[in-house]
């Protein structure tokens, strides 16, 4: 889970902003809270179980053949997953991956009418296959437009598969207007292929190019091209750790080989605005929670764990030939010298919620 914020500036003073109670004449930093979760598909979706009126379905007896860290059936874990998201603070926008239609409906019921959602099933562009859906708080944001692309050489063809990918893969693009300020932000949620090395690399190139085209197109339609630079958030399961091309090509400051305009992204984990002795407001000393997001349902310390799930923010600097030869990932995690994102936004908080809690109140 990530919180982005932007401190006030002279331009901001012209817009209605929340104010800090202790300093009524100073605009408070505007914050947006994001989360991304690969929910693990429901293997029992053919036999759906209704959500109880109150509480959650209690966990079944695991038996001797099920380990402590093994996954629970969807019907048992869905409510506690939402509990974890809502229990960590405000939840403005969340991207889910590996979601079948019945799971989408479960999230809609558990999150309630406060949240609207967008997305399609990847197999047919309607309800078949996994969604990479985005839920957002409709009391804070107004939907402008959204679309889905297929991560393939034919991005507008539902069900199309690209390069060496084993499965059909998609990315969901959403433009929102903040009701408090009228500003526009952009959210992308995706799930890369777990097998195809080339597919992951090409997916990153596609998203960089399509994100730039999408954002600039929306800003031109709204008449904002010369006076507005909204934040662009990319989230999802990349099936790529930070040393793999799927990650490195997203964060590279170099232009695309095609020469087409694009964004480059910075990783919220490594670009957290951390605490210093001079910090005027409370800040984290570093990212909170497990460093690795893929656990393979194994005990802590398992050698197979990796960090493959990310929330990134578009850099304010466009890629250039003199941008260096490596990735935008650099330096120590959680330092204070970090570039802000597009529109002057920065990463204010970062946390990874563990998928196992010792002594959970309900025994999960």
Task: List the Cα angle 355/244/119 in 5-degree steps.
Answer: 55
258, two tokens: 């095609």
Give a yes or no: residue 9 inside a domain: yes
Domain total of the chain: 1
172 found inside a domain:
yes
Q: What is the pLDDT of residue 34?
A: 96
Over residues 242-282, the pLDDT tens digits come to 999 999 999 999 999 999 999 999 999 999 988 887 777 78
The answer to whether the CB of 233 falls within 8 A of the CB of 312 is yes
Q: Which of 49, 57, 42, 107 is nearest to 362 (CA)?
A: 57
| Longest CA span, the chain | 63
Please say whether the beta carbons of 130 and 121 come within 8 A. yes
Give 19's pLDDT tier (boundaries 50, 70, 90): very low
Predicted TM-score (pTM) of this structure: 0.89
pLDDT (tens digit per residue) in 82-106: 999 998 889 999 999 999 999 999 9
Is 316 or 255 the better-scoring residue by pLDDT?
255
Inter-axis angle of helices 74-87 and 101-111, nearest 10? 40
Q: Is residue 357 part of a domain?
A: no
Specify the CATH number for the domain of residue 204: 3.60.10.10
Domain that holds residue 125: 2-350
* CA–CA separation, 134 and 150 (whole Å): 16
What are residue 35's DSSP bridge partners? Answer: 94
């Amino acid at each position: 889970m990530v919180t982005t914020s932007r401190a006030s500036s002279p331009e901001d003073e012209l817009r209605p902003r929340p104010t800090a109670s202790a300093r009524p004449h100073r605009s408070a930093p505007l914050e947006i809270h994001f989360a991304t979760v690969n929910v693990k598909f429901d293997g029992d979706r053919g036999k759906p179980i209704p959500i109880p009126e109150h509480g959650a379905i209690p966990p079944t007896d695991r038996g001797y053949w099920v380990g402590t860290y093994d996954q629970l059936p969807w019907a048992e874990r869905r409510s506690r997953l939402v509990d974890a998201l809502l229990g960590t603070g405000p939840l403005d926008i969340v991207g889910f991956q590996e979601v079948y239609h019945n799971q989408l409906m479960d999230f809609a019921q558990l999150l309630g009418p406060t949240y609207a959602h967008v997305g399609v099933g990847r197999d047919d562009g309607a309800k078949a296959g996994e969604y990479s859906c985005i839920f957002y708080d409709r009391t804070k944001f107004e939907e402008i437009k959204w679309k889905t692309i297929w991560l393939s050489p034919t991005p507008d063809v539902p069900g199309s598969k690209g390069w060496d990918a084993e499965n059909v893969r998609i990315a969901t693009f959403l433009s929102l207007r903040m009701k408090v300020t009228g500003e526009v932000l952009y959210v992308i949620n995706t799930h890369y292929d777990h097998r195809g090395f080339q597919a992951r690399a090409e997916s990153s190139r596609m998203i960089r190019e399509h994100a730039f085209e999408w954002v600039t197109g929306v800003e031109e339609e709204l008449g904002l091209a010369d006076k507005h630079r909204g934040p662009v958030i990319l989230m999802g399961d990349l099936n790529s750790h930070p040393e793999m091309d799927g990650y490195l090509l997203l964060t590279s400051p170099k232009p695309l080989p095609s020469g087409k305009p694009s964004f480059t992204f910075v990783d919220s984990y490594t670009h957290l605005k951390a605490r210093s002795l001079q910090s005027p407001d409370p800040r984290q000393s570093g990212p909170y929670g497990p460093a690795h997001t893929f656990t393979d349902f194994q005990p802590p310390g398992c050698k197979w764990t990796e960090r493959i799930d990310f929330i990134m923010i578009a850099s304010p600097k466009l890629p250039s030939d003199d941008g260096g030869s490596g990735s935008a990932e650099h330096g120590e995690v959680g330092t204070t010298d970090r570039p802000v994102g597009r529109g002057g936004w920065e990463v204010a908080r970062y946390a990874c919620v563990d998928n196992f809690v010792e002594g959970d109140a309900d025994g999960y």
